[in-house]
Amino acid sequence: MEKQQKIVSMFNDIAGTYDVANRVLSMGIDKSWRNKACNKTFELYGQKSIEKIVDVACGTGDMILFWEKVANENSIEIKNIIGIDPSVGMMEVGKKKLPHVEFIEAGAASMPLESESTDIISISYGIRNVVQRQEAFYEFARVLKKDGLVVINEFTKNKKEKLLDHLTDFYMNKILPVLGGLISKNKEAYTYLPNSIDEFLTTENLCKELKKAGLEPIHVKAFSMNISTLIIAKKL
């Protein structure tokens, strides 16, 4: 668990500049990725009133803002929304942005939530930071209601076959660490990001792990030259 603690400590260090760095480094495109994830999830779930959404590895609450915005645009009522993250520093920023939201300090593999209590669990750009990933998927399955949805936005590993793939790779490995380091004053954290993607799973293997936990992928889509992938899985 030493590796997990190191990751949490790193996020505590960059919490204050995280939102600004995210917008600059993704050139704002991450907003569109999040928006599409929320819209597609609500479409697939097909309910106008949702008891509970849990955003895991919620960080500063970015995805929670999108859940609320998109629900509002679609006249969907969310009765309860919770943010869960092991990084207290990130959640402190989130509490200032979203004072009405409950934030809980916990890891993805061990959440203090009742079994079969949640409609939707989301994790955006955080699953590759979860060391006990398979255990986390079992935990998601425990907490979700039957037919509940897991929503994953992630930078997945892809084969570098085209020129654009190599250009993306150059940006992630050479430009992103420098820019991120300048904004956050922590270059190590933004060197970790591309490395964590390279060490991460392919979309295919991620889907296999979800299935193993009883979570059936029902929607898989890549965005922006395969930089980001959306996976929505249903609890069987």
**164 inside domain:** no
What amino acid is encoded at 84 in this protein? I
What are 86-126's pLDDT values in tens digits? 988 889 989 999 999 999 999 999 999 999 999 999 999 88
* Domain encompassing residue 152: 2-157+202-235
Which strand ranges, in their side-by-side order, compose the sheet holding 228-235? 102-105, 77-85, 49-56, 118-124, 144-154, 228-235, 215-223
Query: What does pLDDT average to over the chain?
Result: 84
- Greatest Cα pair distance in the chain: 48
- Can you give the pLDDT at residue 125? 85
Q: Which DSSP state fits 77?
A: E
Least confident of 60-74, 134-148, 216-230: 216-230
Q: Is residue 225 part of a domain?
A: yes
For residue 127, give the CATH number of its domain: 3.40.50.150
Q: Which residue has the higher pLDDT, 13 or 220?
A: 220
In a domain? residue 175: no
Q: Which residues are annotated as a binding site for S-adenosyl-L-methionine?
A: 60, 85, 124
The predicted model gives 62-81 an average pLDDT of: 97
Give pLDDT tens digits for 60-69: 899 999 999 9
Instruction: Express as a percent the part of the chain with pLDDT over 90.
Output: 55
pTM of the full structure: 0.81
51, part of any domain: yes
- Structural domains of the chain, count: 1
Is position 216 within any domain?
A: yes
The annotation places the binding site at 60, 85, 124
In a domain, 174, yes or no: no
Classify residue 88: in a domain, yes or no: yes
Q: Residue 229: name the closest of 140, 91, 124, 86 by CA.
A: 124
β 118-124/49-56 pair status: parallel
Asked if residue 61 belongs to a domain, the reply is yes
Task: Identify the residue with better confidence: 39 or 27.
Answer: 39
Task: Give the pLDDT confidence score for residue 224 in this predicted structure.
Answer: 73
State the DSSP code for 47: -
